[in-house]
Amino acid sequence: IMIVVFGFFFATVSARMVGLVGSSNNPVSGMAIATLLIATLLLKSMGMTGIEGMTGAIAIGSVICVIAALAGDTSQDLKTGYLLGATPKKQQIGELIGILASSLAIGGVLYLLHKAWGYGTAEIPAPQATLMKMIVEGIMGGDLPWSLVFIGVFIAIGIEIVGVPVMPFAVGLYLPVQLNACIMIGGIINLLMNRRKNVDQKTKDAQLNDGTLYCAGMIAGEGLVGIALAILAVFTIDPSSILKGFSLGVIGSIVVLALIILTLLKSSLWGKNRVKK
């Protein structure tokens, strides 16, 4: 019953928000955390404590997380299809095929990553999953620092009042710095490109779209490389042994990062302008 109630509510909110502002603003993490807080409290009040209650809370949170993500993605896809003149029925069939294919693939990938390194390790820190674990264990054990939770709530309200988007701010607080650094660099580049005054809006939009697609490709490539490394780890093959201890060092890493930024600018800012003036 709780899954149905939470699922209907959060799927409706997610689809509504994504339909208005885009899939990148889908607050899946926030909805999952809110679900965990409420569901864990309800399960504990009904006497479901210990491993049984924690498993139930995680299951409910996981289902709601998937529901919210799919609702937002489907809403955005249908909106894009409407703008392009696509047939909604065929789109929905495609959505179902995509969900089925990804469901079959993701289980194997998750098992592979766990077999290779394990979640919560240096290789796979899994900060969001760790946060969900802390919340459920804290509520069930009665030692969750509620004062910090409410402080975070009021800070979020204050940040929204002054006009700062709270979701990027919150993500920057709990994600590891090695992930935040790349997000910050991308945000700075986006900000600088948007603030140019001698470029018309159509050109800005075209260049930003090209840059977004390029970055999406890098994200997908990073995921594929991670899977490849996991396969090597399962078969106890150390990629570093192939390079015989070769390391770029700090200076080399900075140079590589600079080259990546230059390729991003080449694909967007300095790329062929598709907009005819």
Each residue's pLDDT tens digit, 62-104: 888 888 788 878 887 888 888 888 888 999 999 899 888 888 8
Spatial distance between the Cα atoms of 103 and 63, rounded to a whole number of angstroms: 13
Q: Which helix (H) or strand (E) holds 75?
A: helix 50-84
pLDDT digits (tens, 9 = 90+) for 21-76: 444 556 677 778 888 888 888 888 888 888 888 988 888 888 888 887 888 788 87
DSSP 8-class letter at 275: S
Contact 88, 81 (CB under 8 A): yes
User: How much is the mean pLDDT over the chain?
Assistant: 81
CA count, 13 A, side-chain hemisphere, 78: 18
Q: Which residue has the tokens 């409910």?
A: 60
Global pTM value: 0.68
Rounded to a whole number, what is the distance in angstroms from the first to the last CA of the chain? Answer: 57
pLDDT value of residue 259: 92
Inter-axis angle of helices 28-45 and 50-84, nearest 10: 150
